[in-house]
Amino acid sequence: MLKEGAAAGDGTPAPRARPGSGAAARLEAPAVLLLGPARSAASGVATHINQLFGSALSKRFRLSQFQVGREGRGESRRATVVRLALSPLIFVVRLVRLRPRIVHINTSLDLKGYWRDLVYLAVAKALGCKVVYQIHGGALPAQFFPRSRLLTALLRHVLMWADVVVLLAKCEMTAYEQFAPRARLIRIANCVSIEQDRGPAPLNPTAVLTVGYVGRLTASKGILETIEAVRILRERGVEVRLTIAGAGEAMDAIRRSISAAGLATHVHLIGEVFAEAKREFWFQTDVLALPSYHEGLPYALLEAMAYGVVPVASPVGAIPDVMQDQVHGLLVPPRAPQAVAQALEQLAGDRLLLRRLSHAARERVVTHYSITRLADQFTELYRSLSIDAN
């Protein structure tokens, strides 16, 4: 219950490596401690951490993880309180034992995550670690503390205190450069592993258009607007099937919305999906519905496009960096179920368009968002910080 984070392995001592062996070289590599949710959690940050561990980066650096946050935990409120109280002390012990050269904090600019991770940032800096402060979406900095000049000044200092701040989107880079021009800012977009091509989108105009969503169930992802769009299309006589995969705080509201709209046979909740089940989900899906209110760079978008699933998404966060309207998918404004319905109706009625967008979406991700590029960029960043630390 009090275990705040585990290393990549099972905690048993590693065998002594022979001089000159690959294992010995790895033991001599700089240690990097990544902070984030459980790797089994259904969240974009957990996916990001898993991507780093699964990439060539793990062969170039000694990666380990310190788990923070509630995602991926099944704990009572009392256990949460105890964990939060003891977590900084456990973190100190972990730093002393591991002696990482770099602490990589994965956070988002929301109040809960900001204040929690500020403690870890302070501890890491006090113990002489270089800190990578990666922000996975949330509010823009100038809007974070709109009523407090003092807290706004503190945020600006925090951004400069970190050795480097990693951002996901071009619009975030512009906002952070204006807010904290003295901070070291870089942009490293998320990536996904490119596996297999499912082939072109089907051309059969009589087939029911399959629409999907994968991820955390929260209202800000536009799930309720997507359900309303399905209701609108049903009234128009356009048949689509929506499948929602995930878990989260909006589950009850989603169920009520499905029931109120009479869509029990048109909208299906299947819970969380991982590994082969997620791949099968994408193979059976024509369109990703992601009319979010705000985003960083959603892994669901990259995963869907990698499988040739056409996104219908809002132009928020890094989404416009990844896809162009009518080229890789369709862009719709947030909080606009009529616009979502119109986009889905267009794709249901034009399978040639669906196929063209499907090919372009996959090509976009294969060319620009591969895991190799991600590993190379973080390798360059970690190495530059390791040199600075010497």
pLDDT at 77: 79
pTM greater than 0.95: no
Regions of the chain short of the pLDDT cut 70: 1-27, 71-75, 195-206, 389-390
Asked if 188 and 374 count as a contact pair (C-beta separation under 8 A), the reply is yes
Give kind and range of the element (H or E) at residue 362: helix 351-368
Q: How far apart are CA 106 and CA 95, in angstroms?
A: 17
Q: How far apart are CA 103 and CA 131, in angstroms?
A: 5
Q: What are phi and psi of 36, to 5 degrees?
A: 175, -175
Q: For the purposes of burial, counting CB atoms within 10 Å of the CB of 68, is it exposed (0-12), middle (13-18) or buried (19 or more)?
A: buried
Encode pLDDT of 66-109 as tens digits: 999 776 566 677 877 888 889 999 999 999 999 999 999 999 99
Asked if 48 and 136 count as a contact pair (C-beta separation under 8 A), the reply is yes
Helix (H, G, I), strand (E, B) or coil at 33: strand
Q: How far apart are CA 354 and CA 264, in angstroms?
A: 26
Encode pLDDT of 221-257 as tens digits: 999 999 999 999 999 999 999 999 999 999 999 999 9
DSSP string, 91-122: HHHHHHHH--SEEEEEEEESHHHHHHHHHHHH
For 160, 188, 378, the CA distances from 169, given in Å and listed in that order, are 19, 8, 16
Give kind and range of the element (H or E) at residue 289: strand 287-290
Give kind and range of the element (H or E) at residue 78: helix 77-98
Q: How far apart are CA 387 and CA 390, in angstroms?
A: 5
pLDDT at 40: 85
Q: Which domains does the chain have, with CATH numbers?
A: 22-191+370-389 (3.40.50.2000), 209-368 (3.40.50.2000)
Conformational region of residue 164, where left means phi above 0, alpha means psi within -120 to 50, and beta covers everything else: beta
For 189, 290, 306, the CA distances from 299, given in Å and listed in that order, are 10, 11, 10
pLDDT at 165: 98
Q: How far apart are CA 291 and CA 312, in angstroms?
A: 7
CA atoms within 13 A on the CB side of 333: 4
Q: Which residue has the tokens 């935990």?
A: 73
pLDDT at 16: 41
CA atoms within 13 A on the CB side of 327: 9
